[in-house]
């Protein structure tokens, strides 16, 4: 592969990127100062200008993190170096000129604990080339470094402040890379999509983007209340053996502890709060006023309506298949308890059994968690956005390789959006896929996503009507692609 250097002059300094396969890429571009030392738990601070030409041909560090809990299904990405100096962007553009292309800013998922926008899985080169757009991948702080809430030390919104700083950087500088700051779509999956809901509900994000794509958003998981976050923070300090009698001493210890020690303690905390059939995150945005599901959805929708932000939102048919851990034998009492807690009645177990012929109890629990964590809340969000005066295009990704034990699980749509199948070649969830099917499905998904990013219309190739409560049209990506009317009601009735 021939790499050709390319230089861009910004108001912060000069960057030297590389040209690869007709796309120019700038890697490790700093958008905020390094949150190190005494600034470990500070909100994002504006980046300083630099002297000379900065090498932007190699990726920067990713945020300190443990191995992904989903690696048995999604495999391992290339292992980049970790470090607290991680607030950087990966920018891909077809050309450095004055064309003013649409921009998409990517927020990765990973339980707010793992991942990075600079991973090969999310390389934006193919999207930029195919859609004549500028793609921006964001690395932001994770785990306790991004979301610890402890009075006098951190407010639990460091990771969100990073994302706001990245979006502000895009507004100020993306024109130098051939992008239009007035045509920004923010796109995220899982925790990244959840962060977008937080942004929609927050006034600070107003004007930083015009459209949003929410893939597999766990909309049922409201941000943490300050009380719950403090409970988790206190427990983390206990695990770390931090002396909590002197506030100054707490700060001194927390900013000097090795990152590996904090990550290890965070893993122990995550294990302690784990509950059967639930997704419980020890670290996520802490927003006291949004700490109930109903209000979280309502305020995100209200923010979209007031700002005129239109959405693509959707879920995968078996999201929870890789999110519940390696469940083997299940306690029937726990299963009944979870069904009653979520549906209000024990007999719903039978409905879930009937709608998936030959299903195991584990598959039924997976369907339950998929519906109540992802699907139904996403439908409520779409309806709330409609009521708030904006529009949502809803989808469900149903495709999986024939016989795959993972089925259409969490994350399976990602390679179809980015088109980076070389980075996904050994991923277990795609094992057995027929190449021709994958190619055509990729074309369909990416044309829709790019149509939305470019023009606000995802139905440019295959008709995709906007979601309305009366018809409830949902695009289904499966062995046959097309919209299904009232898919919401079909799912609610317990029939796929």
| Contact present, 22 and 129 (Cβ < 8 Å) | yes
Examine the residue annotation and report whether 108 is marked as an active-site residue of this protein: no
Burial status of residue 89 (CB atoms within 10 A of its CB: 0-12, 13-18, 19 or more) = buried
DSSP tag of 373:
I
Query: Residues in the chain, how many?
Result: 496
Buried b (16+ CB within 10 A) or exposed e, 336-358: eebbeebbeeeebbebbbebbee
Cα separation of 148 and 274, whole Å? Answer: 18
Examine the residue annotation and report whether 319 is marked as an active-site residue of this protein: yes
Cα separation of 55 and 88, whole Å? Answer: 13
| Contact present, 90 and 136 (Cβ < 8 Å) | yes
- One of 118, 366, 410, 413 is an active-site residue; which one? 410
- One of 319, 383, 386, 404 is an active-site residue; which one? 319
| Contact present, 306 and 387 (Cβ < 8 Å) | no
Contacts 24+ apart (CB under 8 A), 425-429: 426/75, 427/73, 427/74, 427/75, 428/72, 428/73, 428/74, 428/75, 429/73, 429/74, 429/322, 429/400, 429/401, 429/404
- One of 68, 190, 216, 366 is an active-site residue; which one? 190
Examine the residue annotation and report whether 78 is marked as an active-site residue of this protein: no
- Token readout for 104 is 């998409």
103: β partners: 134, 184
Tally of helices (H runs) and strands (E runs) in the chain: 16, 15
DSSP tag of 46:
B
Name, in order, each residue with C-beta under 8 angstroms of 21's C-beta and a sequence gap of 6 or more: 1, 125, 129
Radius of gyration of the chain (CA): 22
Cα separation of 476 and 488, whole Å? Answer: 12
- CA of 434: how far to CAs of 27, 59, 74, 427, 482, in Å? 33, 33, 18, 14, 20
Catalytic residues: 190, 319, 410
């Amino acid at each position: 592969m021939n790499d050709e250097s390319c230089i861009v002059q910004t108001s912060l300094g000069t960057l030297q990127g590389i040209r690869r396969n007709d796309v120019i890429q700038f890697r490790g571009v700093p958008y905020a100062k390094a949150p190190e030392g005494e600034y470990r738990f500070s909100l994002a601070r504006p980046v300083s200008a630099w002297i000379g030409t900065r090498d932007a041909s190699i990726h920067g560090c990713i945020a300190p993190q443990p191995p992904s809990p989903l690696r048995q299904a999604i495999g391992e990405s290339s292992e980049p170096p970790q470090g607290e100096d991680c607030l950087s962007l990966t920018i891909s553009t077809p050309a450095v000129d004055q064309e003013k292309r649409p921009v998409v800013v990517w927020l990765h998922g990973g339980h707010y604990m793992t991942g990075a926008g600079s991973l090969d899985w999310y390389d934006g080169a193919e999207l930029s080339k195919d859609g004549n757009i500028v793609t921006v991948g964001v690395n932001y702080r994770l785990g306790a470094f991004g979301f610890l809430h402890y009075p006098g030390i951190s407010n639990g919104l460091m990771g969100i402040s990073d994302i706001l700083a990245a979006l502000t950087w895009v507004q100020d500088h993306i024109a130098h890379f051939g992008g239009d700051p007035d045509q920004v779509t923010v796109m995220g999956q899982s925790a990244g999509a959840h962060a977008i809901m937080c942004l929609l509900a927050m006034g600070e994000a107003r004007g930083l983007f015009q459209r949003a794509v929410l893939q597999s958003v766990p909309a049922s998981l409201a941000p943490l209340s300050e009380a719950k976050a403090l409970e988790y923070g206190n427990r983390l300090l206990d695990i770390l053996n931090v002396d909590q009698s002197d506030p100054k001493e707490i700060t001194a210890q927390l900013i000097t502890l090795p990152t590996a020690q904090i990550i290890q303690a965070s893993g122990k905390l995550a294990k302690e709060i784990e509950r059967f059939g639930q997704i419980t995150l020890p670290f996520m945005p802490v927003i006291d006023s949004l700490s109930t599901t109903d209000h979280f959805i309502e305020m995100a929708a209200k923010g979209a309506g007031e700002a005129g932000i239109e959405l693509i939102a959707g879920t995968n048919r078996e999201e929870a298949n890789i999110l519940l851990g390696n469940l083997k034998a299940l306690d029937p009492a726990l299963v009944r308890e979870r069904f009653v807690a979520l549906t209000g009645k024990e007999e719903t177990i039978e409905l879930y059994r009937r709608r998936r012929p030959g299903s195991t109890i584990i598959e039924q629990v997976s369907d339950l968690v998929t519906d109540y964590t992802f699907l139904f809340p996403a439908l409520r969000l779409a309806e709330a956005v409609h009521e708030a005066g904006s529009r949502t295009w809803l989808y469900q990704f149903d495709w999986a390789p024939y016989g795959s034990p993972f089925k259409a699980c969490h994350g399976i749509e990602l390679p179809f959006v980015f088109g980076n199948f070389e980075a996904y070649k050994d991923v277990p969830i795609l094992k057995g896929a027929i190449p021709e099917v994958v190619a055509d499905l990729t074309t369909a998904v990416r044309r829709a996503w790019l149509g939305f990013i470019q023009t606000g219309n995802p139905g440019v190739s295959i008709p995709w009507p906007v979601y309305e409560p009366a018809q409830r049209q949902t695009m289904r990506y499966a062995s046959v692609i097309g919209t299904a009317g009232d898919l919401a009601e079909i799912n609610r009735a317990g029939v796929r």
